[in-house]
Structure 1
């Protein structure tokens, strides 16, 4: 397969890239890792008139550590996998990154490209929602910050304006006495998830649950924030019955559409099973962290 004709421009700076995007709007696409864009172009599902290559913008890559962890949009999955300090601060990534495609794709794919593509079956959007990440969007007009829960608008749709670029993502550091878990079920290793769940459990000084964050991928048009369904766990130990009740509430809160690989009922069943397992695992990790 061959892409439709397009004009290629290598951006020399961030300002240059944003100026080009302001000029061409929706007719232009940024090229970073290209692991989603290039296949879509080859199948002619995407037909940009202009492709703006931003791979030379080194300032958009890298990880800044602190009370908030800032990850540049051009940071590749493999860099996240190899940064032990980052994985210690953002432990959900340690669970989730091995599920993302295959090593060859993780060597090229970027976090900004993944989040901007907004595939609801992808792992990273659910992690961003669970971690209450904030997205920094820039254009020639200025910049703005947006919560991950507001960034994802629908399947393959975000709140990015036609002239904007996602330039970095801020992840808050985990509170003390927190445990995390990411789990998913896919037909084959590296495939998109039929259903996946990201959980963060934070305990108080008595070992009771003080906060639960829970987000799902693959079961909606966007990553699904189901933290409210798990809220009844707050104030108590994560025993079997409360966990089962939370999982049932998660199942009731989602409306999976089903697909060629799984019916809606099967996706709902998986979401409940994974929620139970992930909450238990995150709770045990939180106890060991206390």
Structure 2
């Protein structure tokens, strides 16, 4: 199939893009970046648009800055993040999560901003932002603003961006020195969407006790989730295989995932428990303690 007719607008500045989004707000306008989610929907006529605002020519959206954490422009490709030495040094968890996105051909075209704005609850990048208290930078007719990840994702494929706002950058904090991290995911085949993904970070003191912990999930709700159950249970405890198993179980039983063609709610909870234990084990090892 081919997409329904639409008008293509190639822009070379954020201001021009925002102007068109505002002007065409009543005419089914969408932003085109990598197109790895939008274009298949258009081609299959599962979605239609009157106008596409193509931001691939906006050079300010295609940079990676390493200062106070990472500031990644919206049109930076997944492959760039995957291969960036700056990203690997500042936040190896982010680089590892990006490697889980689809296949190489998809990562060559797909963009950081597009993935976050698409807000797929099974996607890796929204979960990374949720885990690490990341944020996004947006620009609209009223100027710019920053939206914390906790305030960005509002349901299945839904964000709190206004219709005329353009996501311009994603901010991901650097991992503190000595932090252990892990990305665990289960999918049917390599390159498929993760049915459940678990992300974790751990910091350990000199006695092997956990001084800080973060755990987040993708694929278990309408938005990516942090796990206060897991995080509270971990802090102050001594790293051990028994602890990982117990925390994985306790964190999973309170999840309320939906059942779909990829698995029942019960199956997703089982995956969450198993992957949580594995993620905590791996994060502990990377923090310097094998339990």
1:162 aligned partner = 163
Match of 2:21 in 1: 21
* Equivalent residue number for residue 91 of structure 1: 92
* Structure 1: unaligned runs, 5 residues or longer: none
Confirm whether residue 48 of structure 1 aligns to residue 49 of structure 2: yes
What does residue 285 of structure 2 align with? Answer: 284
Partner of 1:9: 9
Contact 2:12 2:59 in 1 (8 A): no
Deviation string, structure 1 residues 7-64 (Cα, Å, up to 9, x no partner): 1111121100001011122621110100001001112222111100000001101211
| Cα pair distance change 1:92/1:186, threshold 3 Å | same
Instruction: Give the direction of change, closer, same or farther, for the CA distance of 1:269–1:114 in structure 2 (3 Å limit).
Output: same
Greater CA deviation, 31-40 or 210-219? 210-219
Q: TM-score, normalised by structure 2?
A: 0.95
Contact 1:199 1:279 in 2 (8 A): yes
Q: Is the Cα–Cα contact under 8 Å of residues 176 and 202 in structure 1 kept in the other structure? A: no
Residue 268 of structure 1 aligns to a residue whose secondary structure is helix
Give every structure 1 segment of 4 or more consecutive aligned residues whose post-TM-superposition deviation is greater than 4 Å.
Answer: none
Within-5 A mapping of 1:1-290: 1-25=1-25, 27-287=28-288
Distance 1:202 1:143 in 2: 34
Q: 1: CA distance between counterparts of 2:178 and 2:254? A: 27
Greater mean deviation of Cα atoms: 110-119 or 167-176:
167-176
Q: Distance in 2 between matches of 1:106 and 1:192?
A: 13
The 3-state SS of whatever aligns with 1:100 is coil
Return the alpha-carbon distance in structure 1 between the equivalents of residues 199 and 246 of structure 2: 17
Contact 1:230/1:250 (<8 A) preserved: no
Alignment partner of 2:67: what SS? coil
TM-score by length of 1: 0.95
CA RMSD of aligned residues (A): 1.5
Q: Number of paired residues?
A: 289
Task: After TM superposition, give the deviation of residue 205 of structure 1 in Å.
Answer: 4.2
- Helix, strand or coil: the match of 1:107? helix
**Shift in alpha-carbon separation, 1:72–1:132, aligned structure 2, 3 A:** same
Q: Deviations over 1:254-278 (max 9, x none)?
A: 1111211211111100000000000
Q: Deviations over 1:89-111 (max 9, x none)?
A: 11112322222111111100000
Shift of 1:73: 0.8
Separation (CA, whole Å) in 2 of partners of 1:182 and 1:144: 30
